[in-house]
């Protein structure tokens, strides 16, 4: 397809080497090397081209950068239902944290009740990056004004051996400690999380400027062996 040719023409070998270090597990030969700001510009332009629909139907893609573009094209979709449908098609083909975390469609905010149902579904997935994406959406949209204490049961229920799932759970709970301390701290006090996730949550929370010094002292006392 023309888009693959275009991406290869603007390859940055130095950035590709840098990106390879950030995405272990991704074959270096699959990384073209295109910076995110450049890719966002390409996505906005390409979305206006009818060819992008054919590109989005052709899964799996060969290159990491094509997956990145795919996620950014989904961000261009304005309709909630259409956005979710495209995510459900694409999520099973995500194979690294960078593509997962870069894709953040604003259309999902248009229907918070329906999104919460999808988050529960995604978070329960055995596919690493479908689960991670669901947890990321929970962290992004439900820890502020839309927060309810029971929402923390969603990540607490996830039991995984996958590093990138467990890291997201820790990131989510550390953020919850910063934003919703009273609701989140019992999960640490009562040892509701796996030991690694528990300790990583404390580590990330202590690194946050949004956690008070008093809270950090208390969190240090809750570390587990």
Among 80, 110, 140, which residue terminates a domain? 110
Range of the domain at 160: 131-225
Please tell me whether residues 76 and 169 are part of one structural domain: no
Residues 145 and 93 grouped into a single domain: no
* Residues 96 and 169 occupy one common structural domain: no
Q: What is d(CA 150, CA 128) in angstroms, rounded to the nearest whole number?
A: 23
Give the pLDDT confidence of 58-116 residue by residue, as tens digits. Answer: 999 999 999 999 999 999 999 999 999 999 999 999 999 999 999 999 999 999 999 99
Pick from 99, 7, 5, 1: which is nearest to 53 by CA? Answer: 1
Q: Same domain for 97 and 169?
A: no
**189 domain-assigned:** yes
Residues 82 and 141 in one domain: no
- Residue 1 and residue 106 in one domain: yes
* Cβ neighbours for 20, distance < 8 A, ≥ 6 positions apart: 26, 28, 31
Q: Do residues 62 and 95 both lie within one domain?
A: yes
Dump pLDDT digits (tens) for 208-222. 999 999 999 999 999
Residue 116 domain-assigned (yes or no): no
- pLDDT tens sequence across 171-218: 999 999 999 999 999 999 999 999 999 999 999 999 999 999 999 999
Give the H/E segment covering residue 2. Answer: helix 2-9
Domain's final residue, options 77, 110, 143: 110
Asked if 79 and 167 sit in the same domain, the reply is no
Number of domains the chain contains? 2
Q: Are residues 140 and 101 in the same domain?
A: no
User: Which of 133, 155, 39, 41 lies closest to 86 in space, CA to CA?
Assistant: 133
Contacts for 123 with CB less than 8 Å, ≥ 6 apart: 131, 134, 135, 138, 154, 155, 157, 158
Residue 154 CA from chain centroid, whole number: 15
- Whether residues 55 and 147 fall in one domain: no
pLDDT score for 1 = 66
Q: Within this chain, do residues 97 and 3 fall inside the same structural domain, yes or no?
A: yes
- Residue 170: inside a domain: yes
Tokens 């580590």 correspond to: 203
Residue 75: what pLDDT? Answer: 98
Does the reported pTM lie above 0.85? Answer: yes
Q: Which of 54, 149, 175, 173 is nearest to 46 (CA)?
A: 54
| pLDDT > 70: percent of the chain | 100
Q: Which tens digits make up the pLDDT trace of 148-169? A: 999 999 999 999 999 999 999 9
User: In this structure, is residue 119 part of a structural domain?
Assistant: no
Percent of the residues in the chain that have a pLDDT greater than 90, as a whole number = 99
194 is a domain residue: yes
Q: What is the 3-state secondary structure (H, E, C) of 58-70?
A: CCCCCCHHHHHHH
- 12 lies in the same domain as 99: yes
51: number of Cβ within 10 Å: 11
Residue 105, burial from CB neighbour count under 10 angstroms (0-12, 13-18, 19+): buried
């Amino acid at each position: 397809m023309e888009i693959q040719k275009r991406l290869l023409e603007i390859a940055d070998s130095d950035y590709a080497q840098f990106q390879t270090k950030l995405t272990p597990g991704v074959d270096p030969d699959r990384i073209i090397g295109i910076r995110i700001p450049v890719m966002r510009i390409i996505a906005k332009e390409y979305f206006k081209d009818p060819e992008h629909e054919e590109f989005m139907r052709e899964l799996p893609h060969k290159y990491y950068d094509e997956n990145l573009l795919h996620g950014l094209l989904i961000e261009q979709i304005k309709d909630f239902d259409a956005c979710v449908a495209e995510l459900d098609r694409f999520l099973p083909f995500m194979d690294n944290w960078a593509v997962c975390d870069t894709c953040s469609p604003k259309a999902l905010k248009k229907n918070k009740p329906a999104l919460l149902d999808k988050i529960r579904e995604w978070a329960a997935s055995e596919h690493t990056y479908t689960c991670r994406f669901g947890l990321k959406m929970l962290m992004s949209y439900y820890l502020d004004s839309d927060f309810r204490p029971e929402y923390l049961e969603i990540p607490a229920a996830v039991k995984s051996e996958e590093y990138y799932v467990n890291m997201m759970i820790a990131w989510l709970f550390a953020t919850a400690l910063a934003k919703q301390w009273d609701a989140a701290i019992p999960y640490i006090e009562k040892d509701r999380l796996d030991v690694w996730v528990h300790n990583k949550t404390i580590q990330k929370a202590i690194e946050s400027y949004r956690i008070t010094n008093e809270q950090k002292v208390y969190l240090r006392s809750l570390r587990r062996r």
